Amino acid sequence: MTARQVALITGASSGIGEATARRLAKEGFDLILVARREERLRELQAELEKEFGGSKGLSVGTMVLDITDREAVRSAFQSQKDLKIQDLLKRLHVLVSNAGLAKGVDPMPEAKVEDWETMIETNVLGLLYVTRFALDFIKPNRGHLVNLGSVAGRWTYPGGGVYCATKAAVLAITEGLRLDLQGSGVRVTNIEPGKVSTEFSLVRYKDPDRARKEYEGYEPLAPDDIADCIAWSVTRPPHVNIQEMVIFPTAQASVTHLVRK
């Protein structure tokens, strides 16, 4: 009997990460869910095991982890004491690096340096830490790295320069990984969404009303839409690599062109 493939998903407690966990569970993947919010991780774990466990065989492990803490990430992979996680890591096939955020929209002369640091540490360094240590478990001729970039990594907009720079870095890192892993059989994909209705705007603005208005007057992408793209990419035949996907809602033509009713 072939062992079930395992997908590790960062930022799994909400939004695209949570939707991807649900979608990959339906595809028959076992899961390692990674996020900082332990209570939400446990709730999601219980929901998935109730729906897909038992005779369906789903196994779900959780890591409560701040991916910006390099030593914590190293320990989570190299000194893992949880036997269930140890077993799941041995079967790791897919890494979905979804954790990321934007902070603020002030012009650079007025922006908070702390916001820049948070975005760089999470979107770039955190992704690199998890990728580096996860690759110790992803064997040649199997495996798939999926990075959550953004259309902001291709097109810059006012008030978003540093966030856009972090997503441009994700694009460059993804392309570098693909080159460095060429011949190994490990595939690498960059998913680049436009406007998706998640906690993203609430984290960015720290204002529920402003965050809500970000998605008014048109139909934004839903987390399930992006989860579908991820699931489709990682379930292609082994000789097919989806290098990148740019996904906009129909109402959005570019990062600065959006039609609202």
Active site residue 215: no
Mean pLDDT, all residues of the chain? 96
Q: Which of 129, 157, 163, 218 is catalytic?
A: 163
Identify the residue whose tokens are 């897909």: 52
Q: Is 153 helix (H, G, I), strand (E, B) or coil?
A: helix
pLDDT tens per residue across span 34-93: 999 999 999 999 999 999 987 678 999 999 999 999 999 999 999 999 999 999 999 999
How many helices (H) and strands (E) in the chain? 10, 7
Tokens of 34: 């990674």
Q: What pLDDT sits at residue 55?
A: 64
Helices (H), 91-160: 113-120, 127-134
Mean pLDDT of 162-173: 98
Helices (H), 127-199: 127-134, 161-180
pLDDT tens per residue across span 211-220: 999 999 999 9
Domain limits, the chain: 6-247
Identify the band that residue 1 occupies on the pLDDT scale cut at 50, 70 and 90: very low
Does 176 have pLDDT greater than 50? Answer: yes
pLDDT tens per residue across span 136-166: 999 888 899 999 999 999 999 999 999 999 9
Query: Helix 38-52 vs helix 15-26: angle between axes, to the nearest 10 degrees?
Result: 20
Does 2 have pLDDT greater than 70? Answer: no
Pairing of strands 6-10, 92-97: parallel
Q: What is the CA radius of gyration of the chain?
A: 18
CATH of span 6-247: 3.40.50.720
CB atoms within 10 A of CB 185: 16
